[in-house]
Amino acid sequence: MTHPTINRLQEVVAKGDDSQIADLLAEDVQFLPPTYWKTWTGRAPVAAILGHVGQVFSDFRYRRIMGNGNDWALEFQCKIGEFDAVGVDLITLNSHDLISHFEVVMRPYKSVGVLRAAIMERVTTDPRFLQYQKALS
Amino acid sequence: MTHPTINRLQEVVAKGDDSQIADLLAEDVQFLPPTYWKTWTGRAPVAAILGHVGQVFSDFRYRRIMGNGNDWALEFQCKIGEFDAVGVDLITLNSHDLISHFEVVMRPYKSVGVLRAAIMERVTTDPRFLQYQKALS
């Protein structure tokens, strides 16, 4: 009933392993983060961002997986430092069963603020993002 | 393929009409807002909160509706003042086809901060919430 790419995503996303995540992403994947109103485009930068996110989240667990075909909503819970959070990965697959659109919505406000600061610190100290900055629009 | 309660929710939630929303809620419904890590319990206070939210959101539109049975994810977009936002209503129905659990996750951080301030102002000036405060835990 669910989709092989969605099953695989559940296995790898919480590990924060860039290379395993990259295999599931379309070359022109778009990632829309919970933290700001911008879009990351491209497999390498999106895998890198998702890798950092996976390392900031702890006690990560997917809950309900809803959707069908190319449209999926993956409900999750996690901790960000000492703060609880709940979110949804909004996924669109392309005709090659790769993720073409990955949008993340979360609650509550305070936890997302902590995530925002943690990701900002990681991205500004990850030398790959000197190159990847142009993938952000 | 979708559920009558979910269809009806799409019709009424954007209008911010407390009484129409209340008809879809279980008496012991729990509402978990995007703005803070707390839970509102009970039909009247939850309908009142959802009414305020519907009045703060503008240009509200549901996008993909995913799920089946009692488990649903309703993707939406809206504006909060001048700011864009995307969110998901995470819904659980009970055996009477009423909403028993309603959790909202959103992006981005900045828009949720604006929502938080707007709802706080409305709740503190709505006399019903002198009574409803005990529904918040």
ipTM (interface predicted TM) = 0.95
Answer yes or no: do A112 and B112 touch at CB < 8 A.
yes
pLDDT at B133 exceeding the cut of 80: yes
A83 in contact with B at a CB cutoff of 8 Å? yes
Query: How confident is residue A18, by pLDDT bands cut at 50, 70 and 90?
Result: confident
pLDDT at residue A15 above 80?
no
Query: Which CATH fold topology does B4-129 show?
Result: Nuclear Transport Factor 2; Chain: A, (3.10.450)
**Over 80: is that where the pLDDT of B98 sits?**
yes
Length of chain B: 137
| pLDDT score of A123 more than 90 | yes
Q: Which residues of B touch A83 (CB under 8 A)?
A: 37
Answer for the pair A56, A80: CB distance below 8 angstroms, yes or no.
yes
A35 Cβ under 8 Å from any chain B Cβ: yes
pLDDT at residue B132 in the model? 94
For the segment(s) A4-130, the CATH number from 3.30.1280.10, 3.40.50.300, 2.40.110.10, 3.10.450.50 is 3.10.450.50
Interface contact B81, partner A, CB < 8 A: no
Distances (CA, A) of B3 to A103, A125, B8, B19: 25, 48, 9, 20
* Partners of residue A73 in chain B, C-beta under 8 Å: 64, 66-67, 73, 75, 88
- A62-118 tens-digit pLDDT: 999 999 999 999 999 999 999 999 999 999 999 999 999 999 999 999 999 999 999
Substitution target in B1, B68, B77, B112 with the highest count of A β-carbons within 10 Å is: B112
Q: Which residues of A20-38 are buried (b: 16+ CB within 10 A; e: fewer)?
A: bbbebbbeebbbbbbbbee
Query: Cβ atoms within 10 A of the Cβ of B134, count?
Result: 10
Of residues A31, A76, A63, A29, the one with CA closest to residue A50? A31
Q: pLDDT value at position B18?
A: 80
pLDDT in the model for residue B19: 86
| B28 shares contact with chain A (CB less than 8 Å) | no
Residues of B in contact with A117 (CB under 8 A): none
Q: What is the pLDDT of residues B72-93, one digit of tens each?
A: 999 999 999 999 999 999 999 9
Residue B97 CA to residue B102 CA, distance in Å, equals 13
Query: Most B CBs within 10 Å: which of A107, A110, A120, as the mutation test of the B interface?
Result: A107
Quick: pLDDT tens for B11-68. 898 776 788 999 999 999 999 999 999 999 999 999 999 999 999 999 999 999 999 9
pLDDT tens for A28-45 read 999 999 999 999 999 999
Residue B2: what pLDDT?
86
Select from A66, A103, A136 the residue whose CB has the most chain B CBs within 10 Å, as the one to mutate to test that interface: A66
